[in-house]
Amino acid sequence: MLLLPQALVDGLLIGGIYITIAIGFSLAYGVMHIIDFAVGEWIMLGAFLGLYLSQWTQVEPLLLLPVVFVVFAVLGYLFQPVIHRVLSGKKGNPLLMALVFTFGLAIAFKGLGLTVFGFFSRSIPSAMAADSFTFVRGDFFVTIPVIRLIGLAYAIAVTLALSWILKRTDFGLAVQALAQNKEAAGLMGISAKRTNSWVYGIYVGISAMSGVLIGCMFSISAQMGGKYTVFSFFVVVLAGMGFLAGVPWAAFLLGMVQSFFLIYFDPGYTLLAVFIILYAVLLISPKGLFGKGV
């Protein structure tokens, strides 16, 4: 019981990380219907850019987030036409083709990462990494690590920013329109190619930024991608594929499951529980917890 407040807080904070890795992916899926196997690799590449930039400039890595975003957004923007070509292929099954294509990308990026960054695990040194707030009341206590709080704040900020863009700007409306009805969006003068490129750029940029945050909280290595890809997929599925507003809740749910299992049950079964819950949710409500997937 003593740990209940801490378990709740931990769940939220872990959830924050899941939001950061899944929100961009959810957007990309919602608009382009692409299941990107390389999401973890974008995170990995972003993390290493953050590491090298902060080593080179000696600037606090968290302050470099915008730089990482811009670099990867441009990369993603330039990359999208290739993906577009795969998705709009007339032959075969575009879903499968995109899956296999991004699977190939993920392998190539991982190989590239291993070549350039080597095998060793690293850590991005942030000045905030060791700070925390502790609240004590009687036997109860809650510790909130600053870096995780920043992660959560970042996650919420990105979520809010995305929903603001989607709701309040013409570009956002265009993105929504494209997600809901591609042909009609074209009739409104929305260029699917260009909008998709922007969306893909934003997604890649957000994922890369998440990598930097993850590097501040955990260790990073060229082989880290796969793990984050799995969780990114699962959060997006739980949320309802392409349903952006569901992402935070799905992420928090997963975070809570993890934190409660680690603290109250046999931690050995944590991941087993996570996968079974995911499977069960898919069976009961394929469109996610909220039944609102695109």
Partner 1 sequence: MTVLKLVSVSAGYGETQVLWNIDLEVEKGCIVALLGANGAGKTTTLKTVCGLLPATQGRLYYNGVDITGRPVHETVNLGITLVPEGRQLFGKMTVEENLIIGSFLKRAKEHRARNLAWVYELFPPLGIRRNQIAETLSGGEQQMVAIGRGLMQNPDLIMFDEPSLGLAPLLVQEMFRVIGELHRRGLTVFLVEQNVHHSLKIADYGYVIENGRIVHQGEGKQLAADPTIRQAYLGI
Partner 2 sequence: MRRGIFAFWLFIGLMAVVPAFVQNAFVLRIVTELFMWIGLAITWDVMAGYAGYLNFGHGAFFGAGAYTTAILMMRCGWTFAATLPVAGLLAGLAALLAGIPTLRLKGAYFAIATWALALAIQQLALVLDITGGPDGMRLPPFLHPVFFFYVMLAVAAVTFLLLWLLLERASFGLKLKAIREDEAGAMALGLNPARIKIQAFVLSAVPAGVLGGIYAFWITFIDPASVLADIITDQAMVMAVFGGLGTLLGPVIGAIVVFSFKTLFWAYLADYQVLYLIILGVVIALTVVFLPNGIWGTLTGQIQARNALIKGMAIDPAQGRHPEQGADSND
Partner 3 sequence: MKSAFAIMSWMLVALFLVLPQTAAAQRDYYKVGVITSLSGDLATGGNVTKRGYDLWAQTVNAAGGIEIDGRKYKVELVYGDAQSKPDQGASAAERLATQEKVDFVLGPYSSGVTLAAAPVLEKYKIPMITGSAESPMIWLQKFYYTFGTIPPVNYTGASPVETLAALDPPPKSAMILGSNDTFSKATAEAFQEAAKQAGIEIKKFNIVPAGQDLMSFMSVAKALKPDLVAFGGHDEELINLVKALLQINYTPKALLMHYGVTEPAFVEALAKNAEQVYGASVWTETVHAKGDYLWADAAAYAKDAEAAFKVPADYTQAGSTAAGIAFMAALGQIKAAPPLDEAEREALVKALEKLDIQTFYGRLKFAEEGQFYHANIGLSPLTVQIQGGKPVIVGPPSEAQSTPQYPMTPWEKR
- Residues of this chain that interact with partner 3 (CB under 8 A) are 2-3, 6-7, 10-11, 13-14, 17, 114, 119-123, 125, 129-130, 132, 134, 141, 143, 145, 147-148, 217-219, 221, 223-224, 227, 258-259, 262-263, 266-268, 270-272
- Scanning 118-169, the segments in alpha helix (DSSP H) are 146-168
Cβ atoms of 136 and 143 within 8 Å: the answer is no
**40-48, 67-75, 169-177, 201-209 -> range binding partner 1 (CB under 8 A):** 169-177
| Gyration radius from the chain CA atoms | 19
Considering CB distances under 5 to 8 angstroms, the limit depending on partner class, which of partner 2, partner 3, partner 1, none binds residue 177?
Answer: partner 1
Q: Which two tokens stand for residue 104?
A: 């190939």
With CA atoms as reference, report the closest residue to 167 among 179, 176, 158.
176
HSE toward the beta carbon, residue 59, CA cutoff 13 A: 13
Residue 120 interacting entry, from partner 3, partner 2, partner 1, none, C-beta within 5 to 8 Å by type: partner 3
Among partner 1, partner 3, partner 2, none, what does residue 100 contact (CB within 5–8 Å per kind)?
Answer: partner 2
Q: Considering the rule CB under 8 A, would residue 219 count as an interface residue with partner 1?
A: no
* Cβ–Cβ under 8 Å, residues 244 and 26: yes
Tokens of 236: 């997006």
Q: Does 133 bind partner 2 (CB under 8 A)?
A: no
Instruction: Select from partner 1, partner 3, partner 2, none the partner in contact with residue 191, using the beta carbon and a kind-dependent cut-off of 5 to 8 Å.
Output: partner 1
- Cβ atoms within 10 Å, residue 28: 28
Residue 142 has φ and ψ, to the nearest 5°, of: -135, 130
Beta-carbon-side half-sphere exposure of residue 21 (alpha carbons within 13 Å): 35
Give the residue carrying structure tokens 């349903």.
243
152 touches partner 1 (CB under 8 A): no
Please state the φ and ψ torsions of residue 219, each to the nearest 5 degrees. -90, 155
Note whether 279 binds partner 2 by CB under 8 A.
yes
Kindly state whether residue 188 participates in binding partner 1, applying the rule CB under 8 A: yes
The entry of partner 1, partner 3, partner 2, none near residue 189 (CB within 5 to 8 angstroms by kind) is partner 1
Q: Is residue 93 within the footprint of partner 1 (CB under 8 A)? A: no
Give dist(CA 130, CA 136) in Å, integer.
19
The residues pairing with 137 across neighbouring beta strands, listed in sequence order, are: 140
Q: Smallest distance, Å, CB 118 to partner 2?
A: 10
Q: In the complex, which residues of this chain contact partner 1 (CB under 8 A)?
A: 90, 170, 173-174, 176-177, 180-181, 183-192
Residues that bind partner 2 (CB under 8 A): 35, 82, 85-86, 89, 91-93, 95-97, 99-101, 103-112, 114-115, 226, 230, 233-234, 237, 241, 268-269, 271-272, 275-276, 278-279, 282-283, 286
